[in-house]
Structure 1
Amino acid sequence: MSKRTLILLITLMSISLIGIIIIQGFFIVEIYRDAERKFNNDSSIALSEGVEWLEKREFRRYVVKFRDLISSGGAIDTTAINSLYIIKEDSDNNEVMMYRNASIEENLKVPQFWNVLDDSLNLKRVSSERETKVLKIQKEKEYSGISSEQFLSKIGEISKSKEILFETAYHDLAKRNPIERRIGNVKSLSSFLKYRFKRFNIDIPFEFAIFNADSITRVKSENFVLDKNTFESALFTDENDESGYLIKVNFPKRTPFLVAPVISVAVVSIIFTFIIIIVYIYTVLILLRQRQISQIKTDFINNMTHEFKTPIATINLALDSIINPKTIKDQSLVKKYLEMIKDENKRMYDQVENVLRISQLEKRELNIKKTTLDLNELIKIAVSHVQLLLENKNGSIHLNLNAVKSEIQGNETHLVNVMVNIIDNAIKYCDKVPEIQVSTENVADKIVLKITDNGIGMSKKVQNKIFEKFYREQTGDLHNIKGHGLGLAYVKKIIDYHNGKIALESALNKGTVFSIELFANK
């Protein structure tokens, strides 16, 4: 996959993921707004219905008293003037209020329009007259026999006009009552409102208060506070739909109530979105990793080709020299060229063997037989393998084999290869005269092997990838130093097979320390 294609894929996936997250967020916000709209609508309806019921309740009380009064007297003669007299006593203010409301009906006879017929047209004109007087009580017994809402006039059946007449009188009288008397106690009003809200599934605490104009009355709950989310409705409107009172209600726990149904949807949405994000990140990492592996494999092929090209060219050159008639007669030269061919052939064999070995280790097909070994002795064997390389670079190696318990369970061939790989790298990756120290010591039930060099060291980035297969610090496709990037990957696999641990400490231009921990025999 090309870099351009990879960037395009990641960009498209990122845009899609961001789009999904935005849509999910918009969806959750819309659910909350719908819940808020429904709550506001239901609260307003519940409050309006409650207010309407309170008004009808008060009106029914007056009607009952009115009917009781009717049943106490006989029928009256219906005249053109219908009058209603009400006397109401206010003992608190030591006053008597006298109210009169009259409707006057006049029958008129006029000719029809255009004088087409001799018939006349009967018309009825209705007018009303109201009068209210407030008197101070002069004597203790004056009006003592008259109670509130008792009618002085005796009336018969309530006609429609008389009902309207009474309703008008009711509004005029009722609004003179203090709101505390009209409502009753605060507790009963609270229970009533709770019932009304519960019918709309609004079962949360609320606070309320009744206002007269802009001032709050004594009819209120203890913790009422006016805020921007307060609902209100006109209370006890008259025949002109006018009222001096407003009932206001707010819900302190409104937000948690609205959020509650959204939480479940939001949680599920967030979980799935989080899963998508994880899968997205994992996919991007895999794509990047695959591209990196592809690049590493390409580099590996290029370097392996280079590694094989040199010995093949050397072998061809040696064979051409042997075939030469002048050379073939010289046995010493022939032997020299044959040794060269053998060495180069072994070198190619070792390269192929390393590739196959690492593949077998990954598939766990490599059969590693373990025997009792002395690690100190294995170190000496490994050093002998690299002695020639050290001499070629005028280097030196110092052994500090201080481990007393040096016996372990392991495979001699593979453990020697591990140490040879590490020491070989210490020699190759050194820009000065190599100085290598190899030491062992016992720590608890383990034996710790340390190989220290004075080479070029490694950056943090290289240290994090040094044990990966095919990885080599490089400049371009071909490396300055021969190799195929399988050595330390093989080392790590072998140590893992021996239930050990390998770690390193390094800094650029300050050398490297490899530490290997293996369990010592008891």
Structure 2
Amino acid sequence: MKKKLFVLLVVLMSLSLIGIIFVQAFFINNALKNEEKQFTSDVFRSLSLVSKAIEDKELLSYDKLYKEVTKSGKTPDSSEIRRLLIFESFNEETNQSTQFKSTITEESFKAPSLFFDIGIGTDSINIKKFISQSEINVFDHSPIDGQINLQPVQTSKDYSTMDELGRIFYKKDYRAVYKNYPVYKRISNEEVLELLESQFLLSGIKTAFEYAIYDKDLSTKIRSDNFELTPKSTIGIPVFLDNESRSNYSLYVDFPERKKYLLSSILGMIVLSIIFTIIIILAYSSAIYQLVKQRQISQIKTDFINNMTHEFKTPIATINLAIDSIRNPKIIGDQEKVMRYLTMIKEENKRMHAQVENVLRISKLEKNELNISKERVELNDLIEDAITHVELLVEDRNGYVKTHLEAGKSSVLANETHFTNVIVNILDNAIKYSEGEPKIDVYTENVGNSILIKIADQGNGMSKQVQKRVFEKFYREHTGNVHNVKGHGLGLAYVKRIVDDHQGHISVESEKGKGSIFTIKLPLIS
């Protein structure tokens, strides 16, 4: 995949993910607003029902007062306040007409205000009762003896305490009576609380609330202990309406945990949204990481193939030249030259074999198929032995390897062959990456129950970025297309795997142009 296409895909995927998150946030925000609107609507409806329940309670209270007055033996003053002709019809077949009348009669009592414990400073109050009477008269329009009878031939009457019209007059009267009655005598805290709780429960509102009744802007005795009037969150409705449907009193409720309650109503959706978003982000991050990793591996493998091809090309060419030379009739008879070319073929063959072994060794380590048996070894002795493998290479370039083996205790549990290869690989790298004479110092020292091995060189050194990746498989520092240093990026990867398998730790400190120091820490055995 080309770099530009890869970047474009990453950008598009990132924008899509951000878009999904914003869309989810938008819908959650909308859902919260809808819940808030529904909550406010439910509260208003409940308060309206509470206001009506308070009015009905006062109406019943007024009716109770009326009954107490009538029981006292007082005689009412009666007057007809409304006569209403509602219906009249004529039947041609029977020659009869039907007439419907409705009458409302008012019964009024005067009684001392103290009798009702109203206490509003008046000597007496009017208590009224409204009686509804309906009358149906049937008139026969057939002449009798040449004259029409004007008297009804059939009459029926019905009396009831209240109809809709009577109720209107009744409400107007009781409102006038209670107009100046103190609010705390009209209703109690317990009654308001009970009404609110029952209505909120029926409306499905299950959260704590505070309430209060205000007379204009002044608080009354009807209130809960922790009520605070806050314009943004408090909801109110008029109560104790007068005959013009106006009132100085307002019932307010406030919900201290309103936000929490509203969030809890959509909590399931929020949690699922967050979980799915996290899953998408993790999956997306993993996909991007894998794409980047695969791209890096692809590049590394390409470099590895190029390096391996380059390194195999030289020995194969050398072997072909040596074979062609041996086949030459002039040389085949020269025993010394034949032996020289055969030795050359042998060395180049060993070199290619070593390259293949390194690749196979790393492959086995990755699959945990490499059997590493450990035994007690003296690390100081093992280091001395490893140095002998590279001494000739160092001397050939007029360099040196100095040892500073100051560790008094050097017994470790290790595989002699593999750990020798570890030291040799690090020394070989120090030689390869020294442009001039290789100058290498090897140190050992005891730190607690561990032994430290430090291999310091004065070679080319590494940048911070290279240091972070130097132990990765196939990784080699990019030097353009110049293969001035032979290798395939497996040596230090192998070193780290072996050190890790020995419960050790390896690190590197380096500065570009000033050399590197590789430090290995291994646990000692008694």
TM-score category of the 2 structures, normalised to the smaller one: 0.7 to 0.9
Give the gaps of 5 or more residues in structure 2: 83-104, 131-147, 149-158
1:342 matches 2:346: yes
3-state DSSP of counterpart to 1:447: strand
Which residue pairs with 2:238 in the alignment?
A: 234
Q: Shift of residue 393 of structure 1?
A: 2.0
The Cα RMSD (Å) is 3.2
1:351-500 alignment to 2 at 5 Å? 351-500=355-504
1:118-517 alignment to 2 at 5 Å? 158=161, 164-183=168-187, 185-227=188-230, 228-517=232-521
Higher mean Cα deviation, 67-76 or 279-288? Answer: 67-76
Q: Shift of residue 353 of structure 1?
A: 1.6
Q: C-alpha offsets along residues 354-382 of structure 1, whole Å, 9 cap, x if unaligned? A: 11122122222233344443333332222
1:48 matches 2:51: no
Which residue pairs with 1:142 in the alignment?
A: none
* Rounded Cα–Cα distance in structure 2 between residues aligned with 1:277 and 1:58: 62
3-state DSSP of counterpart to 2:401: strand
3-state DSSP of counterpart to 1:480: coil
* Rounded Cα–Cα distance in structure 1 between residues aligned with 2:241 and 2:326: 125
Q: Shift of residue 453 of structure 1?
A: 0.7
3-state DSSP of counterpart to 1:95: coil
* Rounded Cα–Cα distance in structure 2 between residues aligned with 1:339 and 1:88: 140
Q: C-alpha offsets along residues 156-191 of structure 1, whole Å, 9 cap, x if unaligned? A: 9757566554443223222132333322x3343333
Whether the 8 Å CA contact 1:299–1:478 is kept in 2: the answer is: no
Which residue pairs with 1:123 in the alignment?
A: none
* Rounded Cα–Cα distance in structure 1 between residues aligned with 2:110 and 2:457: 118
Q: Shift of residue 102 of structure 1?
A: 13
Which residue pairs with 1:14 in the alignment?
A: 14
1:24 matches 2:24: yes
* Aligned partner letter, 1:364: N
* Rounded Cα–Cα distance in structure 2 between residues aligned with 1:492 and 1:162: 101
3-state DSSP of counterpart to 2:214: strand
The change in CA–CA distance for 1:287 and 1:101 in structure 2 (over 3 A counts) is: same
* Rounded Cα–Cα distance in structure 2 between residues aligned with 1:212 and 1:99: 25
Q: C-alpha offsets along residues 388-417 of structure 1, whole Å, 9 cap, x if unaligned? A: 221232111111223333344433332222
3-state DSSP of counterpart to 1:436: strand
Give the gaps of 5 or more residues in structure 1: 104-118, 120-155
Whether the 8 Å CA contact 1:208–1:247 is kept in 2: the answer is: yes
Whether the 8 Å CA contact 1:302–1:478 is kept in 2: the answer is: no
Q: Shift of residue 3 of structure 1?
A: 2.8
Q: Which has the higher contact order (CA 8 A, sep 6+)?
A: 1
Q: C-alpha offsets along residues 12-35 of structure 1, whole Å, 9 cap, x if unaligned? A: 432342233223323432332333
Which residue pairs with 1:139 in the alignment?
A: none
The change in CA–CA distance for 1:78 and 1:379 in structure 2 (over 3 A counts) is: closer
Whether the 8 Å CA contact 1:500–1:518 is kept in 2: the answer is: yes
* Rounded Cα–Cα distance in structure 2 between residues aligned with 1:257 and 1:336: 92
3-state DSSP of counterpart to 2:385: helix
Q: Shift of residue 44 of structure 1?
A: 1.1
Higher mean Cα deviation, 2-11 or 255-264? Answer: 2-11
3-state DSSP of counterpart to 1:30: helix
* Rounded Cα–Cα distance in structure 2 between residues aligned with 1:417 and 1:157: 115
Higher mean Cα deviation, 482-491 or 88-97? Answer: 88-97
Which residue pairs with 2:57 in the alignment?
A: 57
Whether the 8 Å CA contact 1:194–1:203 is kept in 2: the answer is: no
Q: Shift of residue 248 of structure 1?
A: 1.9
Q: C-alpha offsets along residues 207-240 of structure 1, whole Å, 9 cap, x if unaligned? A: 3333334444443334332222222222122344
* Aligned partner letter, 1:414: H
Percent identity over paired residues: 46
Q: C-alpha offsets along residues 81-100 of structure 1, whole Å, 9 cap, x if unaligned? A: 96654546456565325669
Whether the 8 Å CA contact 2:108–2:126 is kept in 1: the answer is: yes
Which residue pairs with 2:66 in the alignment?
A: 66
* Rounded Cα–Cα distance in structure 2 between residues aligned with 1:201 and 1:441: 76
Q: Shift of residue 348 of structure 1?
A: 1.3
* Rounded Cα–Cα distance in structure 2 between residues aligned with 1:93 and 1:241: 22
The change in CA–CA distance for 1:313 and 1:60 in structure 2 (over 3 A counts) is: same
Q: Shift of residue 300 of structure 1?
A: 0.3
Higher mean Cα deviation, 308-317 or 3-12? Answer: 3-12
* Rounded Cα–Cα distance in structure 2 between residues aligned with 1:168 and 1:100: 12
Tell me the TM-score normalised to structure 2 length: 0.80
* Rounded Cα–Cα distance in structure 2 between residues aligned with 1:376 and 1:167: 111
Higher mean Cα deviation, 470-479 or 43-52? Answer: 470-479
1:37 matches 2:37: yes
Q: Shift of residue 488 of structure 1?
A: 0.9
Whether the 8 Å CA contact 1:303–1:478 is kept in 2: the answer is: no
Whether the 8 Å CA contact 1:434–1:453 is kept in 2: the answer is: yes
Q: How many residues align?
A: 471
3-state DSSP of counterpart to 1:237: coil
Q: Shift of residue 287 of structure 1?
A: 1.4
Q: Shift of residue 425 of structure 1?
A: 0.7
Q: Alignment partner for residue 123 of structure 2, among 92, 96, 102? A: 96
Q: C-alpha offsets along residues 58-86 of structure 1, whole Å, 9 cap, x if unaligned? A: 11222233355557478988768966545
Higher mean Cα deviation, 356-365 or 330-339? Answer: 330-339
* Aligned partner letter, 1:495: V
Q: C-alpha offsets along residues 105-157 of structure 1, whole Å, 9 cap, x if unaligned? A: xxxxxxxxxxxxxx9xxxxxxxxxxxxxxxxxxxxxxxxxxxxxxxxxxxx97
Whether the 8 Å CA contact 2:76–2:109 is kept in 1: the answer is: no
Higher mean Cα deviation, 380-389 or 52-61? Answer: 380-389
* Rounded Cα–Cα distance in structure 2 between residues aligned with 1:33 and 1:225: 24
* Rounded Cα–Cα distance in structure 1 between residues aligned with 2:270 and 2:321: 75
The change in CA–CA distance for 1:491 and 1:165 in structure 2 (over 3 A counts) is: closer
* Rounded Cα–Cα distance in structure 2 between residues aligned with 1:284 and 1:443: 43
* Rounded Cα–Cα distance in structure 1 between residues aligned with 2:162 and 2:382: 124
Q: C-alpha offsets along residues 435-468 of structure 1, whole Å, 9 cap, x if unaligned? A: 1111223334433322111112122221221111
* Rounded Cα–Cα distance in structure 2 between residues aligned with 1:73 and 1:162: 22
Higher mean Cα deviation, 438-447 or 243-252? Answer: 438-447
